[in-house]
Amino acid sequence: MATITSEPVAGPRPLALRDAVARWLDREAVFSWLMMALPLLFLFALVGYPFVYGIWLSLENRPVAQAGTFVGLGNFIEDARDPVFWQVARNTFIYTGAATVLKMIGGLALALVINQSFRMKNFVRAALLLPFIVPTVLSTVAWMWMLDPAFSVVNWMLVHMGIASRGPSWLGNPALAMASIIMINTWRGLPFYGITLLAGLQTIPQDLHEAAAIDGAGSWTRFWHITLPLLKPVILIVTVFSVIFTFADFQLVYVLTHGGPANATQLFATYAFDIAMSGGQLGRGASVALAMLPILGLLIIGLTTYMRSHE
């Protein structure tokens, strides 16, 4: 009779452990968290930490290069007492509102045009992205020359076309200065709208348009009852993004007018920078910058609610 001797088995234990780990890793909840861990860490380090630090700064009296003292909402109360703060708030709303509406209408028109078939369609689509691709500072310097009283090509055209005897002071007149920055922001942001809405347009089935056309719907009716409703979610998303970018705009104003003349083009971001950096009041600067937060927060909540209601 053969005797079976039991010998210690070396392999199974680590194999079992490995299997257990593999099975654990295979679980969707674990795997998805593992995949998200690095981006989350990245997000926390580069966005979360500065954001939380910014909030903390806004609650401190924190002169540059000195220790801060906690003042609670003191900085925000001071902001409310600052007459320029309210002018800045008004400017930012006008700038964001006007530029967003112009970009939305212009971008939709642009998308509808480039959605048609024509020669060199792809080249035109790519070329339209140029204002969005060129660094803002660079394009703003070009605009600075174009609006310069001595060298303005815009004024040159107005004078030579007989529209004006002398070109207007684009950056010296408070109302024109605001109109100028709105115009430049629109020029820069239009391609973002155009290309994004074009992508949305291309997802609309052609069958719907054909069926409507057979039923006798004209192009305006088809646009109003097919294109626009189906494009609405894309318009909403792109508008929210655009509002966020425009609301927090800095470079264009900083380079072109630095908030002048007499704060007529001063926005939250440029005003916050001046107070924090030039004025050396980091806490106050942070509080001005954070004044944007509730408005942008409401926008994001609104978007999320809308998206969920349409899921």
Partner 1 sequence: MVLSGGASSTSRRQVLKAAAAGAAASIIGVPRSHAATKSLTLIHESSFIKTFDAYFQNTLAPAYEKLTGVKVSYELASVGSLQTRVTTIAETGSGADLTLNFFNWPFLYDEKYLDVSDIAESVGSQQGGWYEPAKEACVVNGKWKAIPFGNVGQLMNWRMDWFNEVGFDKFPDTWDELLEAGTKLKAKGHPFGFELGHGFGDNHGWLYPLLWSYGGHEVEPDGKTIVLDSDETARAVDFARKFFQQTMLEDVLGWTDVNNNKAWLSEQISCTNNAESILWVAKRDFPDIAKVTGQAQNPQGPKGRFHTLNSWSHSIFTHTPDHEAAKAFLRWLCDKQQLGAWYAAADTYYQPFLHGYDEAPMWNVEPRNLPFRDALATAHLPGWPAPVSRAQSEVIAKYVVIDMFAKACAGAPTKEVIANAVAQLKQIYSQT
**Sequence-distant (≥ 6) Cβ neighbours of residue 90 within 8 angstroms:** none
- In the list 97, 106, 244, 274, the residue contacting partner 1 (rule: CB under 8 A) is 274
How far is residue 189's CA from residue 131's CA, in Å, rounded to a whole number?
Answer: 8
Query: By C-alpha distance, which of 58, 92, 80, 56 is closest to 287?
Result: 58
Taking the complex as a whole, the smallest distance from the CB of residue 81 to partner 1 amounts, in Å, to 5
User: 3-class DSSP state for residue 61?
Assistant: strand
Q: Which is nearer to partner 1, 177 or 238 (CB)?
A: 177
Q: Is 280 in the site for partner 1 (CB under 8 A)?
A: yes
- Residues 165 and 80: beta-carbon distance below 8 Å: no
- Helix then strand count (H, E) for the chain reads 17, 2
Q: Which two tokens stand for residue 169?
A: 């002071």
Q: Which stretch binds partner 1 (CB under 8 A): 26-34, 98-106, 147-155, 232-240?
A: 147-155
Q: Find the radius of gyration of the CA atoms of the chain.
A: 28
Q: Is 178 in the site for partner 1 (CB under 8 A)?
A: no
- Residues 108 and 197: beta-carbon distance below 8 Å: yes
Taking the complex as a whole, the smallest distance from the CB of residue 61 to partner 1 amounts, in Å, to 8
User: 3-class DSSP state for residue 164?
Assistant: coil
Q: Which two tokens stand for residue 215?
A: 């039923």
Q: Is 23 in the site for partner 1 (CB under 8 A)?
A: no
- In the list 112, 201, 260, 306, the residue contacting partner 1 (rule: CB under 8 A) is 260
- In the list 263, 295, 296, 299, the residue contacting partner 1 (rule: CB under 8 A) is 263
Q: Which stretch binds partner 1 (CB under 8 A): 3-11, 26-34, 119-127, 165-173?
A: 165-173
Q: Which stretch binds partner 1 (CB under 8 A): 24-32, 97-105, 169-177, 302-310?
A: 169-177
Q: Which residues bind partner 1 (CB under 8 A)?
A: 61, 63-66, 78, 81-84, 148-151, 169-174, 177, 257-263, 274-275, 277-281, 284
